[in-house]
Structures are given as C-alpha cells and as structure tokens.
C-alpha cells in the first residue's frame, strides 16, 4: 500500500542535522514507492496558540499564518515524521508551537496512524532525547488512532553535517524503506 509520508523539520539551521536525517528517512520511503513531502519550519510564520478553542468548533485555527496549511497536510498524511534538534533535553520550541497549533485535528477525521520522531543532540548521551520523546508521546496520546512507530536519535552531533558519519543515517534510511 502506497502511503503519504510527511516529514516536518523544525531546525532553523539550513541543512541542520535533524533535517538531514529526515531527508534520509524520506529517501528510503520514496525508494519503497511511497509519496513523500518535506516541510521545513525555517522562515515559516507560526504564532503561539491562544487557547481560545475556536478550532474545535471551526475545524481550523482562527490565527492566519503558515500553520494552517501545515496542519492540513498533517491531517491528510498517513505517516508523519517529526524532526527536531534537542535543546535543553527537549524538542525545539518551533515544533512544540506547531503541535499546539494542531489542536484542530483532535476531533477531526485525521489519516495519520504512524508517527516517527527524529532528533539530534550535541550531547552524546543516548538518553538526551528522552524528555522530548515523552513530549511527543503526550501529543500522540491525544490521537487514539495513531502511535509512535519509531524514533531515531543522532547523538553527539553539533556542527552542521556532523550526522552524515553516524549510524543514525542508516537507521533513518532503513525506517523509511521499511514503511
């Protein structure tokens, strides 16, 4: 079955390590015949959620910015890949803000079932993304039909491109290929 795979990169560094991993995941998925799309949050205007809950009634957010288009793509994807650098052991603020703005999906007929989480960290500890993983699991738990299907951590990378020689590259490709 051909799946629609959406990767969302929240690094603000052009060609950042988490973005490189997300693209490698998509390369594997595309080689397996899936439809892939890559979105970067670089240069996107995404404002903070106001907590007004109007999206629950309207089906979309009242704030007019770039998040509405991204959230619509999330709704229609079969697989979502979230890619983030780890900042202070947590996902980037850009990703968290987008997840907050996706609140309108809660009562919708969303298609996504499988969620993958890709993170990179300067810290070489294999647990450096645990808090961020807990955060993404919290978001996923609000969407009963979806699950965290896989996670990839590129640890011990700081400089742009440092991920290219790490085992996480192969892991990302294989996870994408196995969809």
pLDDT attached to residue 164: 96
Q: For residue 49, is it within any domain?
A: yes
Residue in the block written with tokens 């397996």? 32
Q: For residue 163, is it within any domain?
A: no
Q: Is residue 118 classed as helix, strand or coil in its secondary structure?
A: strand
Provide the domain limits for residue 144: 4-157+168-177
Number of domains within the chain: 1
Judge contact between 177 and 28, C-beta under 8 A.
yes
pLDDT attached to residue 50: 95
Q: For residue 162, is it within any domain?
A: no
pLDDT per residue over 57-70, tens digit each?
888 899 999 999 99
C-alpha to C-alpha distance for 101 and 95, rounded to whole angstroms:
10
CATH of the domain at 26: 3.40.50.360
C-alpha to C-alpha distance for 47 and 66, rounded to whole angstroms:
9
Burial of 66 (0-12, 13-18, 19+ CB in 10 A): middle
SS3 track for 56-88: HHHCCCCCCCCHHHHHHHHHHCCEEEEEEECEC
Shortest CA distance to 105 belongs to which of 137, 136, 146, 65? Answer: 146
Local confidence pLDDT in tens for the 179 residues of the chain: 999 999 999 999 999 999 999 999 999 999 999 999 999 999 999 999 999 999 988 888 999 999 999 999 999 999 999 999 999 999 999 999 999 999 999 989 999 999 999 999 999 999 999 999 999 999 999 999 999 999 999 999 999 999 999 999 999 999 999 99
Burial annotation 79-112 (CB, 10 A radius, 16+ → b, else e): bbbbbbbbeeebbbebbbbbbbbbbbbeebebbb
């Amino acid at each position: 079955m051909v799946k629609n795979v959406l990767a969302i990169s929240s690094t603000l560094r052009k060609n950042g390590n988490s973005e490189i991993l997300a693209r490698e995941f998509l390369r594997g998925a595309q080689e397996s015949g899936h439809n892939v799309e890559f979105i970067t949050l670089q240069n996107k205007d995404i404002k903070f959620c106001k907590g007004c809950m109007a999206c629950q009634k309207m089906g979309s957010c009242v704030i007019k910015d770039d998040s509405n288009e991204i959230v619509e793509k999330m709704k229609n994807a079969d697989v979502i890949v979230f890619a983030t650098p780890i900042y202070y052991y947590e996902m980037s603020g850009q990703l968290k803000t987008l997840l907050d703005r996706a609140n309108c999906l809660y009562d919708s007929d969303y298609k996504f079932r499988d969620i993958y989480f890709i993170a990179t960290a300067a810290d070489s500890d294999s647990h450096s993304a645990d808090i961020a993983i807990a955060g993404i699991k919290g978001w996923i738990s609000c969407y009963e039909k979806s699950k965290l299907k896989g996670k990839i951590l590129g640890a011990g990378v700081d400089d742009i491109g440092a991920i290219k020689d790490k085992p996480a590259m192969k892991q990302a490709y294989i996870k994408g290929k196995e969809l």
